[in-house]
Amino acid sequence: MTTESDSTGSTDVLDRELQELLENEVTDDGDHDKFSHYVQKEKILESAVTGKPVRALCGKKWTPNSNPDRYPICPTCHEIYERLRDE
Ligand SMILES: [Zn+2]
């Protein structure tokens, strides 16, 4: 019994949570380039235009690459995303 809701339209809560997350400055030059992070789609589009890194869900600055399938999903981003989606 799952409800399919892939369309945009019920992301108010998610967006608000994201704002709070994105306001937390995290400086980490670790291995974030080895993962595909969750980033707001609009931010990815913005990055594609500006070439600047964006803030991922986990708080890391990351430049989306053109073939994210090469990298595993960032576990931290995935955990945050799942948590946000459940609420
Ligand atoms: Zn991440």
State mean pLDDT over 43-54: 91
The model's confidence at residue 3, banded by pLDDT at 50, 70 and 90, is: low
State mean pLDDT over 51-68: 85
Instruction: Say what the pTM is.
Output: 0.56
Helical H segments across the chain, by residue range? 12-22, 41-50, 75-86
Query: How many angstroms is it from 26 CA to the middle of ligand 1?
Result: 11
pLDDT at residue 81 in the model: 93
**Would you say 11 and 46 are in contact if contact means Cβ atoms under 8 Å apart?**
no
pLDDT at residue 85 in the model: 87
Tell me the pLDDT tens digit for each residue of 26-44: 555 555 567 889 998 899 8
Query: How many angstroms is it from 33 CA to the middle of ligand 1?
Result: 9
State mean pLDDT over 11-24: 67
Higher pLDDT residue, 24 or 67?
A: 67
Query: How many angstroms is it from 59 CA to the middle of ligand 1?
Result: 7
Query: How many angstroms is it from 68 CA to the middle of ligand 1?
Result: 12
**Would you say 55 and 71 are in contact if contact means Cβ atoms under 8 Å apart?**
no
